[in-house]
Amino acid sequence: MAVAGSVTRRAARSLLIEAGGTPRTTQQTLRIRSAANAARRKKLALSLRARYEAGATVPDLAEECNYSIGTVYRLLHQAGTRMRPKHNHGPARTPRKRS
């Protein structure tokens, strides 16, 4: 309302109260925004899951989406993705002989 009417937030709040309305609290606004973003993140998580299960790696997905690797792991976890086992990329080890 403040942006549309070219008035300050304080003036918009006063006008709203004078008209009999009740302004939202900060917590209410954050809850509304969070709910709006939840659907978008769920859709993204399911998309990442499909691509991961098709063979894409987490670092590749992170680079494609401009998210950190940790965020991609979190989204995959939230989507219920069964993660592939981690591979040991170090030098090959010879098994220890038991005596």
Q: Are 84 and 54 in contact (CB under 8 A)?
A: no
Crossing angle of the two packed helices 58-65 and 69-78, in degrees rounded to 10? 110
Using alpha carbons, select from 75, 17, 81 the residue that is nearest to residue 53.
Answer: 81
Domain span including residue 23: 2-78
Which tokens belong to 51?
């691509």
Residue 73 placed within a domain: yes
Each residue's pLDDT, cut to its tens digit, for the chain (99 residues) gives: 555 567 888 888 888 888 988 888 889 888 888 888 888 899 999 999 999 999 999 999 999 999 999 999 999 999 999 998 877 655 656 666 776
Residue 97 placed within a domain: no
Q: Are 77 and 52 in contact (CB under 8 A)?
A: no
Residue 65 placed within a domain: yes
State if pTM tops 0.75.
no
Residue 64 placed within a domain: yes
